[in-house]
A and B are shown apart, each in its own frame.
Chain A
């Protein structure tokens, strides 16, 4: 369906033109200015290159072999999933454009056909994920339901070292801002309890020695986070080049 901004159209013609039921008569009196790329930002490329999984990014010469074989792009017709393009946007540092794909990028199913076929030895799948990580770490992508679920899942797991499905369910429902009708919840809970697939409250599983192990794990996660921030701020410190 065409988008018609009436203020951009002068209606001084008598011919009536209709497209898909919308009146588009008149002459367009303006051009939309094309978006101009005005700077090359090296930060994304520098950071991706500095990561062990991302260092092959700079080999890419944009031949498109990866995209041609990508099952998401071709078989599933997800045209916007274009690994070659993601790499180019990262190479020239076009962050604004790249951010549009911050969630799409994670739809890669890691079939690795691209890696097998790349004539320059770019580890496309790893590079794409590294670019995705950059976007995520720099806080660009709006949090998706999947992201919220991941967060709830990790927190739940860290508590006892084993999932508590009932509380995970409650937390996630709360994060999504919705509640299941009590009747349905009871019905589902009862079925799950009876089949032994749900153990909660006094029946919940426990991991032996979790207190100690969990502390180590939490420490490790914190450490990872610290390292990630340090590498990002190192890349950011190099800065752009605006005059």
Chain B
């Protein structure tokens, strides 16, 4: 049997590669970056919602299953530049630096993931102009290192606001979908900060809170146990407050039905999920249809969410839409099984 190609070494790809190897088939795992672990590693995610477990505790074992596995051939800093369809599978060209290598594979799992929305595109919030307006993925790193300080003057903030749905549910930036993670991750960050620094006041500006399913518990706890405060309304713009040292968030408190202009020391943007560059490239390479949002479209998203509908091409993780790590891991397992079944016959 020719090896099965897994594209992308985030949670979904790692899980797929590990399971294919477990089934006894040879696997080629290709990752664009020099490290394994995808976005969670790239942005040094701290604790993961909803159980507040360190991300390394979840990614570590996944990576360990793949690294040093004799059935997994690892290609870091590598991209696929060409894919030709064979009667069964593909002939793919792998590019590492300047070196090109051709391999024949019997099936492909696309686990090419998402990119965080570039918050500079939501220019009203001043991200990229005001140093104390952060993207929440940057705050992850700060919390991870326990150095939550204002980038402008290095002082600890007294009051932080989170703005949800930045680059999500927003026609102005062309992203009408929900990122599914923003609520939970922002609330989790507020909880982490309140745990370590109860003197910092945490406010979340929201339209709806979508901590779906059992994640609701995190939301409830954040209010009751950690005193995180929620204000309903979408912030319209962020400017510099009088005096120059604080940020001014202008919005409407839709419960008070009153405009609010409140100063904050730090403003954190919950940037949404967009189809990753790798996902767009993979769609073109393997001819997988994409939906209006740009994510890969499974053939039958309800019955068989990991099948692309094209022979030998399987999908897993956030390449098909915003997804949490546990869901991505599960889809990696499903895609592994489906790819193995296809390759074996």
Contacts and interface: CB of A to CB of B under 8 A. Distances in A.
Contact of B223 (A39, A61, A97, A241): A61
A126 B35 CA distance: 55
A37 B263 CA distance: 11
B50 interface: no
Contacts of B209: 61
A65 interface: no
Contacts of A58: 223-224, 227, 229
Contacts, number: 66
A97 B260 CA distance: 14
B261 A92 contact: no
A91 B229 contact: yes
Contacts of A39: 262-263
Interface stretch (B76-84, B251-259, B280-288): B251-259
A243 B246 contact: yes
A40 B262 contact: yes
A42 interface: yes
Contacts of A62: 232, 255
Given A241-B159, A243-B241, A243-B242, A37 B259 contact: yes
B220 interface: yes
B177 interface: no
A132 B261 CA distance: 27
Q: How large is the interface on B (under 10, 10 to 19, 20 to 34, 35 or more residues)?
A: 20 to 34
A145 B13 CA distance: 73
Interface residues of A, number: 26
A32 B224 CA distance: 39
A241 B201 contact: yes
A49 interface: yes
A243 B255 contact: no
A19 B183 CA distance: 50
A60 B227 CA distance: 11
A241 B158 contact: yes
Interface string A136-155: 00000000000000000000
B245 interface: yes
A40 B204 CA distance: 12
| Residue of A35, A59, A92 with highest tally of chain B CB at under 10 A | A92
Nearest to A60: B223
A88 B255 contact: yes
Given A40-B201, A88-B255, A243 B263 contact: yes
A19 B220 CA distance: 51
Contact of A243 (B201, B224, B243, B260): B243
Interface string A212-243: 00000000000000000000000000000111
A92 B201 contact: no
B16 to A, nearest CB: 39
A42 B223 contact: no
B223 A35 contact: no
Interface string B211-252: 000000000100110010111100000000111011000000
Nearest to A46: B227
Nearest to B258: A37
Interface in B72-91: none
Interface in A47-65: 49, 56, 58-62
Residue among A35, A40, A60, A61 with most chain B CB within 10 A:
A40
Q: Which 7 A-B pairs have the closest CB atoms?
A: A37-B260, A36-B259, A243-B243, A58-B223, A59-B224, A241-B159, A243-B246
Given A37-B259, A59-B224, A241-B158, 20 more contacts: A34-B259, A35-B258, A36-B258, A36-B260, A37-B260, A38-B261, A39-B263, A40-B159, A40-B201, A58-B223, A58-B224, A58-B227, A60-B223, A61-B223, A62-B255, A89-B256, A92-B229, A241-B201, A243-B246, A243-B263
10 contacts: A34-B259, A36-B259, A36-B260, A37-B261, A38-B262, A40-B231, A56-B224, A58-B224, A92-B256, A243-B245
